[in-house]
Structure 1
Amino acid sequence: MTMTQSNKLTTPPIHPASPGKRMAIGAGIGLILISLFLLSVREPNPGWGKLWMIRPLLIVPLAGAIGGLCTYFISHFQKQFGINKAIAIIVSVLVCLIGLWIGFVLGLDGTLWN
């Protein structure tokens, strides 16, 4: 008869949402925003080419995903260093908005953003 000692200590996860989930949410927000913006274009300039929508549909969700990853890291540092949660949320929102704006500029450069 052998006795084994088992430690069943569990620690709660630091992050309730994984970085992949936050990136998917950010990419989804970016895709929805750019799709709504592009659907408002009735007659695109023929000089833009046939597939002019592909670039913004790729770049803006990518920028949103990077913004989601930034929110993950900001919340990690907020918990690790004990920064006020309200400040961390405000910084996260600002980083995401700036990232999406830069994504819009890069995605629409040469077409709708002249």
Structure 2
Amino acid sequence: MTLQNNHSAQTSPSFATPVLVGAGIALLVILFFVLGADTPSAYGDYWMIRPLIVTPLAGATGGAFYAFMMYQSTRGFNKALAILLSVLVYLVGLWLGIVLGLDGTMWD
């Protein structure tokens, strides 16, 4: 009879998961603003391309920061502080991504 250790090793999710979630949330937020707006006359039909690229990139960066902070929390950083800092950085980054995406296209 052999003794088996059934200790499940706690594995962190891959780096891509928080990045994709962050980009997806940012895409949904910018779609709310872009699809509810009329087409600005000076920019034509393709004015939405910039906000739909810049804002999800900012959200993905916030998700990457979250993944980095979760990695740091496994190395001894306070987990509650890591989550709080990650949410704050994500919200500020999302706000800046929306402003940078819409500046010059929807906001003139």
**The TM-score by the shorter chain falls in which range?**
0.7 to 0.9
Tell me the alpha carbon deviations over residues 29-81 of structure 1, each in whole angstroms, 9 at most, x when there is no partner: 0110000111221x23201222000110111111111111110001111221x
CA contact (8 A) 1:14 1:76 kept: no
Who is 2:94 aligned against? 100
Q: Give, as a single letter, the amino acid of the residue that structure 2 aligns with 1:37.
A: F
Question: How many residue pairs were aligned?
Answer: 103
Quote the offset at 1:99 in angstroms: 1.1
What is the aligned-residue identity percentage?
Answer: 46
1:84 and 1:113 mapped to 2: Cα distance?
40
Structure 2 SS opposite 1:113: coil
Alignment counterpart, residue 73 of structure 2, candidates 44, 55, 78: 78
Tell me, yes or no, if structure 1 residue 36 matches structure 2 residue 32: yes
CA contact (8 A) 1:24 1:68 kept: yes
Structure 2 SS opposite 1:46: coil
Quote the offset at 1:88 in angstroms: 0.8
List structure 1 segments (4+ residues) > 4 angstroms apart after TM superposition: none
Who is 2:61 aligned against? 66
For residues 5-20 of structure 1, what are the structure 2 equivalents within 5 Å? Answer: 12-15=9-12, 17-20=13-16
2:10 and 2:44 mapped to 1: Cα distance?
49
Q: What's the TM-score once normalised by structure 2's chain length?
A: 0.85
Structure whose alpha-carbon radius of gyration is higher: 1
Quote the offset at 1:13 in angstroms: 4.8
Tell me the C-alpha RMSD between the 2 structures: 1.8
Q: Which runs of 5+ in 1 are unaligned?
A: 1-9
1:46 and 1:65 mapped to 2: Cα distance?
31
CA contact (8 A) 1:60 1:100 kept: yes
